[in-house]
Structure 1
Amino acid sequence: MADIEVLYNEALILLHELISIPSYSREESNTANAIEKFLSKKTIPVNRHLNNIWAVNQYFDPQKPTLLLNSHHDTVKPNAGYTKDPFAPLIETDKLFGLGSNDAGASLVSLIAAFIHYYPQQHLNYNIVLAATAEEEISGLNGIVALIPLIPTPAFAIVGEPTLLNLAIAERGLLVIDANTKGIAGHAAREEGDNALYKAIEDIQWIRQYQFDKISEWLGPVKMTVTSFHTDNKQHNVVPATADFIIDIRVNELYSFDEILSILSANLRSEFAPRSTRLKSTGIPVDHPIVQAGINLGKTCYGSPTTSDKALMPFPALKVGPGDSARSHTADEFVYLNEIKNGIEFYIKLLKQVL
């Protein structure tokens, strides 16, 4: 078993390297190379699919259940507010600056360190699969979705994202709806036609006032908001024949997308269709052993308003990691150095309770 200080120093070196390599979503081949090289130097056999890197513990036993350790190595593009070079890792006082340092580089290297710690151990209760994946920032098809069919089926997962090491046991889903209302065009002065705008407003008013019954302890109620509206007509004297609007629905873990769509179907006059049903709401029970392990370490449970690869996993997953979600996608992104070390120690202690 590696010493914590050694694991921390190696993780810090790896994070410096990852920051220095541009790895926008769909352009992660070079960070995948770096992670592959890092693990190979540890004499850990490495598997690769597209820009996804994965490995299993030394004494993998197909008769045992599997635990997945997952985080991502892609980043968003740096915004215009950066005052530092986003690809030049820089330590100032107790902070490491650089694009991807917080989201989710610190979580990724901390999970890798924990995996290395447990890699050579025998007689574990679970197999361990480590997966450093691509395209998380765009929920792409060539990231965790492409990898899941290739790895041993996990019983559950730990998803590394910046949560201040608290336990994100629930995560909102996102359902975007395109709605279309049909009427009949006519001359406004003669009160002709069937005004699609007025019909759409009736639906929008219902959306504004409707309250979903099931309120989550962790995520609160489902939130439904009309965010865009337009008609087919720009003339002042013509009744519009069609009106289109977009509904942004943030779904708690108590509703399936099918349930939401059924409620809309029963109440809206407009025709509608979801753009995507991939980013589902998720939850892991508080009494799940991995959640209880985190609670035993003094961590608190909460519902996360942000979406991660957890939404794409068809098995229970706990989102937890070093860093702060509030720093993600901000200019001059950084992570505290002690957050990385604490992250490694936390993951090792968390896993010890289940392994």
Structure 2
Amino acid sequence: MNHTELTNKAINLLKKLIETPSFSSEEEGTAAHIENWFQEHEIPFKRSNNNIWAANLHFDESKPTLLLNSHHDTVKPNNGYTKNPFEAIVENGKLYGLGSNDAGGCLVSLIATFTYYYKQPNLAYNLVMVASAEEESSGENGLNSMLSIIPKIDVAIVGEPTLMQLAIAEKGLVVFDATVKGTPSHAAHPNDDNAIYNTIDVLKWFQEYTFEKKSAVLGDVKMTVTQINAGKQHNAVPANVKLVVDVRVNDAYSNEEIADILQAASPCSEIIPRSLRLNSSSIPKEHPLVQAGIALGRETYGSPTLSDQAALSCPSLKLGPGNSTRSHTADEFIYLYEIEEGVKIYIELLSRIV
């Protein structure tokens, strides 16, 4: 099957995915469409929860294994949509619909690429394709649940919208729940230990604090207070203020190190990480996969956004059609030419290493 046929089929699959709601942990319908693709192309596959996976025909345990992965779940549409988010609408070369850009275009392009190579003998790498669930929610039944089921992975391409440029590193994420304490009182009485006023200096500390280690690819660790909550009635000073702090971690730190630093240095009464498992990811610029991409004129960069790379312990490359700035926006879309380019570049990239 040539590139054009594969691209057209991939676009048709994407239209079906768009028109089938697939919020995180509710991906049964889109999983069925992906199963149908593999059945139509006579590719054996397996399903675990709503994750669909397959391996190339001539899988050889003595060879390293390359994972091709993207997700078929979506966030819920926001209130800004002017088009039906569950209708695949093509206008002026754009395919509109929820999940078209994040990450449907990447997913169908990778499935098409896997199909192209499925029967080819004498590949240097085995290929494993995983269409995963629960990426948007970092759920327990997503890609992380597949790593004990699929063959051992040596390197991965994770399909997320990067304009087909090479994201060779990705920031990790730690979300902290923090508490600023004070003395509760009636609002009419003097109080020199008002938890809300105490929070002013704490917020200033978070705004001004910088982590020492910088990354050549990912830059600084970025820390942002994103939520604040206190008080229940107008005439009572609360005992504490609750903060939520979002920390995007570069590859110079582990998540555990970030937690240790903040627990020792922050002026909060208490600061507790929700999870430490979403670590930063990277792949050496010298890796054959990256060098193959550079040879195709692709540029390297560091990505500030989180993906299923966080579930992987092997080197991984984030690469896919579409633009990350369109993700989670109203009237989400992907250009049809981007899918065509995605299939073409994925196939050319693998031809240089497999």
- TM-score under structure 1 normalisation? 0.92
2:154 alignment partner, SS class: strand
Q: CA deviation at 1:9?
A: 1.8
Aligned equivalent of 1:220: 219
Aligned equivalent of 1:293: 292
Deviations 1:124-166 (A, max 9, x none): 1111000111111111111111111100011011011111000
Deviations 1:317-340 (A, max 9, x none): 111011111222222222111111
Counterpart contact for 2:184–2:236, Cα < 8 Å: no
1:114 alignment partner, SS class: helix
Deviations 1:175-195 (A, max 9, x none): 221122344456889867755
Aligned equivalent of 2:306: 307
Aligned equivalent of 1:41: 40
2:70 alignment partner, SS class: strand
CA distance in 2, matches of 1:197, 1:82: 37
The residue correspondences of 1:237-276 to structure 2 (distance < 5 A) are 241-269=239-267, 270-276=269-275
Deviations 1:224-258 (A, max 9, x none): 233344555856686x5434333221211211111
Q: CA deviation at 1:342?
A: 0.9
Identity %: 54
Aligned pair in 2 of structure 1 residues 117, 181: CA closer, same or farther (>3 Å)? same
CA distance in 1, matches of 2:270, 2:229: 15
Counterpart contact for 1:178–1:275, Cα < 8 Å: yes
Aligned pair in 2 of structure 1 residues 235, 113: CA closer, same or farther (>3 Å)? closer
Counterpart contact for 2:110–2:343, Cα < 8 Å: yes
2:148 alignment partner, SS class: helix
Deviations 1:267-309 (A, max 9, x none): 2342211122232222222112211111111111111122111
Which runs of 5 or more residues in structure 1 are unaligned?
none
Q: CA deviation at 1:346?
A: 0.3
1:214 alignment partner, SS class: coil
CA distance in 2, matches of 1:82, 1:235: 37
The residue correspondences of 1:36-115 to structure 2 (distance < 5 A) are 36-115=35-114
Aligned AA (2:351): K
CA distance in 1, matches of 2:6, 2:302: 30
Aligned pair in 2 of structure 1 residues 245, 10: CA closer, same or farther (>3 Å)? closer
1:129 alignment partner, SS class: strand
Deviates more, 1:75-84 or 1:140-149: 75-84
Aligned pair in 2 of structure 1 residues 252, 4: CA closer, same or farther (>3 Å)? same
CA distance in 1, matches of 2:191, 2:333: 61
The residue correspondences of 1:1-355 to structure 2 (distance < 5 A) are 2-185=1-184, 196-197=195-196, 200-231=199-230, 241-269=239-267, 270-355=269-354
CA distance in 1, matches of 2:68, 2:40: 20
Aligned AA (1:5): T
2:325 alignment partner, SS class: helix
2:163 alignment partner, SS class: coil
Question: How many pairs align?
Answer: 353
Which runs of 5 or more residues in structure 2 are unaligned?
none
- TM-score under structure 2 normalisation? 0.92
Aligned pair in 2 of structure 1 residues 227, 115: CA closer, same or farther (>3 Å)? closer
Aligned AA (1:247): V
Counterpart contact for 1:185–1:193, Cα < 8 Å: no
1:122 alignment partner, SS class: coil
